[in-house]
Structures are given as C-alpha cells and as structure tokens.
C-alpha cells in the first residue's frame, strides 16, 4: 500500500503539510522497512498523460523487461498494463479494458500512478520524468 501526502514548498520552506494524517499513517504501519519518496507534483491534462503513456512509459517498461531477459512488444505491454491497472467496462456481458481515449483526468492519473507504483515494486525504479513529453 502506498500513501501520498501533499506538501507545498515556498523558498525552501514547507508551507502546507498534513502532519496529523502523516502521523496517523505512520502509527498504523506494521513493523518493517519503508521508504519516503519526495517528487515534484504532476499537474497535467489528459492529452499530455496519453502522450506520456504511449511514449516514455511503454518504452521504459519494454527496456526494463529486456534487462530482466524478457522481450515484449509495446502492444503487448500496453494490453498488459490496461488489463492490470486500467478501468473496465461491460461489453456484450464481458469485462473489457476501457480505451485510454475514454479516460478522464482522474482515471488517467490513477492509471499512471498505479503503473509507477508497480514499476517501483517490480523494477525497483520509477517511471521516467514527465519532462520527456512534448
């Protein structure tokens, strides 16, 4: 399970942070080793998220699989990710992955965050920087 805490920095000083929720979360965790990751907040529109997914994300995951000795095409990876992390809809009585063209902002954001969390778990690294998207 991953937990996210928004923080706002101004001039190197923290101006907004929910210490109460952070403390409650820490108290609820079982014993073990954890990591705290701080990154720049992502503020995108769905078009930029789509370009990120179809470009750097698929390429990155394809390269990570190659490092592990498995070769998959981008279409195979896309289908896997949509099945594993994307929303579904009922078509002729069957669950089918939704087209990414149908994702709204929140759906796309959750989709990419879930893929990033999976990459951290499986490949021990995050997705590439969103700066790689034009």
Q: Domain residue spans in the chain? A: 46-132
pTM over 0.75: no
Q: Token pair 């996210």 is at which residue?
A: 4
Classify burial at 120, counting beta carbons within 10 Å of its beta carbon; exposed 0-12, middle 13-18, buried 19 or more. Answer: middle
Residue 99's pLDDT is what? 92
When comparing pLDDT for 72 and 11, which is higher? 72
- The answer to whether residue 16 scores a pLDDT higher than 90 is no
Cα–Cα dist 57/79, whole Å: 13
- Between the alpha carbon of residue 133 and those of residues 48, 55, 97, 105, 119, the distances in Å are 7, 8, 25, 17, 19
Cα–Cα dist 122/101, whole Å: 27
Beta pairing partners, 90: 95
Residue 107's pLDDT is what? 94
How large a percentage of the chain has pLDDT more than 70?
Answer: 93
When comparing pLDDT for 46 and 3, which is higher? 46
């Amino acid at each position: 399970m991953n937990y996210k805490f928004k923080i706002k920095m101004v001039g190197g000083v923290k101006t907004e942070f929910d210490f109460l929720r952070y403390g409650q979360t820490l108290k609820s965790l079982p014993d073990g080793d954890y990591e705290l990751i701080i990154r720049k907040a992502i503020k995108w529109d769905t078009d930029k998220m789509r370009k990120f997914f179809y470009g750097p994300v698929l390429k990155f995951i394809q390269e990570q699989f190659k490092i592990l000795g498995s070769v998959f095409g981008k279409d195979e990876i896309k289908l896997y990710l949509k099945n594993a992390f994307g929303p579904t809809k009922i078509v002729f009585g069957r669950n089918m992955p939704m087209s990414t063209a149908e994702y709204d902002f929140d759906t796309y954001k959750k989709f990419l965050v879930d893929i990033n969390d999976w990459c951290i778990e499986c490949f021990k690294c995050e997705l590439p920087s969103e700066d790689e998207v034009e």
